[in-house]
Amino acid sequence: MTTVYDLPLDLDAFEGPFDLLLTLVLKEELEPAEVDVAAIVIAFVERLAERDQLDLEACGEFLVLIASLLELKARALFPDEEAELGELEPEEAAEELARRLAEYRRMKEAAAWLSERLVAERERYFRVGPAPLAPRPERKLAPQDPHQLAAVLRALAEPPPQVSLAHMALRFPPVSQFLERFRALLSRRRRFDFDTEVSELDRIEQAVAFLALLDLHKAGEISLEQAASFAPIRVSRVDEERKSEWTARFA
Instruction: Give the footprint of other proteins on this chain (CB under 8 A).
Output: 12, 31, 33-36, 76-78, 94-95, 97-115, 117-118, 120-132, 135
Q: What's the closest the beta carbon of residue 68 comes to other proteins, in angstroms?
A: 17
Q: What's the closest the beta carbon of residue 53 comes to other proteins, in angstroms?
A: 19
Residue 100 or 189 having the CB closest to other proteins: 100
Q: What's the closest the beta carbon of residue 9 comes to other proteins, in angstroms?
A: 15
Residue 76 or 238 having the CB closest to other proteins: 76
Q: What's the closest the beta carbon of residue 100 comes to other proteins, in angstroms?
A: 7
Q: What's the closest the beta carbon of residue 125 comes to other proteins, in angstroms?
A: 4
Cα separation of 209 and 179, whole Å?
A: 8
Cα separation of 235 and 207, whole Å?
A: 16
Query: Residue type for 89, please?
Result: E
DSSP string for 178-226 = HHHHHHHHHHH-SEEEHHHHHTTS-HHHHHHHHHHHHHHHHTTSEEEEE
What 3-state DSSP class applies to 237? strand
Residue 66 or 175 having the CB closest to other proteins: 66
- Strand 233-237 relative to strand 191-193, pairing: antiparallel
Which residues of 52-209 form beta strands (DSSP E)?
Answer: 191-193
Q: Which residues contact 66 (CB under 8 A, 6 or more apart)?
A: 37, 40, 41, 44
Residue 106 or 189 having the CB closest to other proteins: 106
Residue 13 or 211 having the CB closest to other proteins: 13
